[in-house]
Structure 1
Amino acid sequence: MDYLIGLLNSILHNQQAAEWAFVSLMGAAVFCMGLAGIFLVSNIFSPVRSRLQTVVGSESTDDAKKTGALVVLMGKVAPYVLPKKEGERGRISERLMHAGFRGDTALTTFYALKTLLIFGLPMVVLLALKWVSALTSAETLQAVAAAVLVGVVAPNYVLGKLIKRRKRLLYNGFPDALDLLVVCTEAGFGLKPAIQRVADEISVGHPELAQEFALVNAEMRAGVDRSEALHNLSDRTGLEEIAGLVTLLSQSLRFGTSIADSLRIYSEEFRDKRMQKAEEEAGKISTKLIFPLVFCMFPAFFVVAIGPAVVGLLDHFQVY
């Protein structure tokens, strides 16, 4: 490892060696991309594949028309861009589901975009830096490496932001949905009608949570067990509060206790939890205000309060 680091430093400090390294890397990248493109095109447009589609007949044609050309293309590209490890695919699929992407091609599309960014951003950087003559080959190589790093990190970063945004929207709508669910169950509604009524009522203010509740009700109508449908809701949202509600409802359905009483108790506990969280955030305000006070308000205050006295002293002693 030390030998490789020393070799890399010597290459970066040697202008001619850096140029040869840059040309070699670019040649290898172009060669690999050419091979990958030829391999993909030969598999996608293979005559054997075309004959099989002809033999299968109208069923595959109808499916292609329904799903669209993009979905078919993603299905053909999937074996080449998806990771081989099942655990990695499951983890990314779960993150995509928490972000709201539950389509069949969501995982393939994510990795296809990631692959496109990894190979496309360096090409864009090279084309952009071609017109900048002041840069050396070493600096260009560093810019290309930075572009590759951005292509690797950016999709995961954007996905994390989308997950946080969707969880925040679901969390903001959960108290209203919980109160409505308590009112509906105490009014005599069953679990399925209560969930459907809550989904209809909050569809305007909180469409994301309403969609999740409507999906739970649709699964129940389709014959899915109520406990399984509720656990699917917990898996799709990834919120701790909804997971607690699902556990409570599952236990109530299992042991035959009153759903209305259980929901009322959980609603009171949730309000207490929200109040404790608000008090915790309020207690952190004094600590968070230290840095704005020290770096923004105190300098201005000292300039206004002590500035005239300092100017008077300097004038009195004729420093300037």
Structure 2
Amino acid sequence: MTPLDTLLVGIPALLGGTCLAAFLLQGWGQHPIARCMDAYRTAHDRLTERLVGKGIFRFPGACLLDSHRHWAFAEVFALLVFLAVVTGNFSAYGLLRATPAAVLLGMVVAWISLRGAAREALRSVHRDLPVACFLLSLLLESGMGPSAALQETSGSIPEGALARELRELVRSRSLGVPRGESIERSRQRVPVEDYRLFLNHVLQGERLGIGLSRSLRELSAKMLENQGHRAETIAQQAAVKMLFPLVFFIFPAVFLIILSPVILGLWDRLAG
């Protein structure tokens, strides 16, 4: 190993170790592990917001993600790629080749993982929204105010993208953000038509002073009916999707099992 290789490997390792030590010491205050995890989560949430704001993450639902787990998976994958390439060629050329490969593959893995998580977040919004509408209508009928009812609903539905978004809506109102502005922000973050209808009902009810409970209950029933129609459509598409594996995998295996004794018998007769 030449002195140039030592410098090229040692300087990045020293800088990386210094940054890691500074990060750990900064979070080693009152609660070591908790503060480190909170700092890691906050940094990656901000990174995701910047990438969404710059248009790099353009897929729907990117604003609904709890992204730190997906970034951690991508970073571990990039580190493994870097170590594998450097181990195979421990030199300056190997280091220069490993760094861009690890960064590129890490970004690809992060993009794929975050995109899948965004789709799952949108599906969870579709799944939990009828329950949230029905629960909110019950709370409003009991005499609870809209803000208190939204806060109670966010804590009662299953933890997920919709619960976080409702909590963010309540938090914006508690900070003094106008109701129209907070609802418009929430509408832009969640690209789901049923959720936008839900926000329209809430906004019109608060502006016009009309009762929300009946309209929300009707909206919940309509959403459940739409979910039933979507389930029927998916069930009808299942037969078409199963056609390819049936024709190319299952049918040949069945024919081979059934016809193999006949083929072997004919082969023995022809050979004899």
Is TM (by shorter chain) over 0.5? yes
Q: Is the 8 A contact 1:98 1:238 kept in 2?
A: no
Inter-CA distance 309–139: structure 2 relative to 1 (3 Å threshold): farther
Gaps of 5+ in 1: 1-25, 46-60, 76-80, 132-137
Amino acid in the other structure paired with 2:247: V
2:259 is matched with: 306
Aligned to 1:53: none
Which of 104, 107, 112 is residue 157 of structure 1 equivalent to?
112
What SS is found at the alignment partner of 1:318? Answer: helix
Match of 2:145 in 1: 190
Q: What is the aligned partner in structure 2 of residue 128 from structure 1?
A: 87
- Select 1:279's aligned residue among 232, 247, 257: 232
In structure 1, what is the Cα distance between the partners aligned to 2:259 and 2:253?
10
| 1:128–1:246 distance in 2 versus 1, CA, 3 Å | same
Distance 1:222 1:305, change over 3 A: same
Q: Tell me how far apart the structure 2 counterparts of residues 214 and 74 of structure 1 sit (CA, whole Å).
A: 18
- Distance in 1, matches of 2:235 and 2:154, equals 32
Amino acid at match of 2:64: H
**TM-score normalised by the chain length of structure 1:** 0.57
Structure-2 residue corresponding to 1:181? 136
Shift of the alpha carbon at 1:279? 1.7
Q: Write out aligned runs for 1:1-320 (5 A).
A: 30=8, 88=54, 97-100=63-66, 123-130=82-89, 146-202=101-157, 206-208=158-160, 209-315=162-268, 317-319=269-271
Shift of 1:246: 1.0
How far apart in 2 are the matches of 1:71 and 1:198? 26
Higher relative contact order (CA 8 A, sep 6+): 2
Q: Describe the shift of the 1:127–1:146 C-alpha distance in structure 2 as closer, same or farther (beyond 3 A).
A: closer
Equivalent pair of 2:130/2:221 in contact (CA under 8 Å): no
Separation in 1 of the partners of 2:108 and 2:61? 15
- The residue type paired with residue 159 of structure 1 is L
Q: Distance in 2 between matches of 1:201 and 1:73?
A: 28
| Residue 271 (structure 1) shift | 2.1
Over the matched positions of the two proteins, sequence identity in percent amounts to 23
Offset of 1:198 from its aligned partner? Answer: 1.9
Cα deviation, 1:66-115, whole Å, max 9, x if unaligned, reads 9x78999999xxxxx99x999517968x97632135xxxx8xxx7xx999
Contact kept? 2:62, 2:114, Cα under 8 Å: yes
Deviations 1:216-262 (A, max 9, x none): 33433443333333334334444333222112322333344331232
Change in Cα spacing, 1:230 to 1:157, as seen in structure 2 (3 Å) is: same
2:85·2:94 contact (CA, 8 Å) conserved in 1?
no
Q: Structure 2 stretches of 5 or more lacking a match?
A: none
Paired with 1:242 and 1:213, the residues of 2 have a C-alpha distance of 11
Instruction: Let me know the Cα RMSD of the aligned residues.
Output: 5.0
Which protein shows a greater Rg? 1
Query: Does the 8 A contact of 1:252 with 1:258 survive in 2?
Result: yes
Question: 2:61–2:122: 8 Å Cα contact kept in structure 1?
Answer: no
| Matched pairs, number | 253
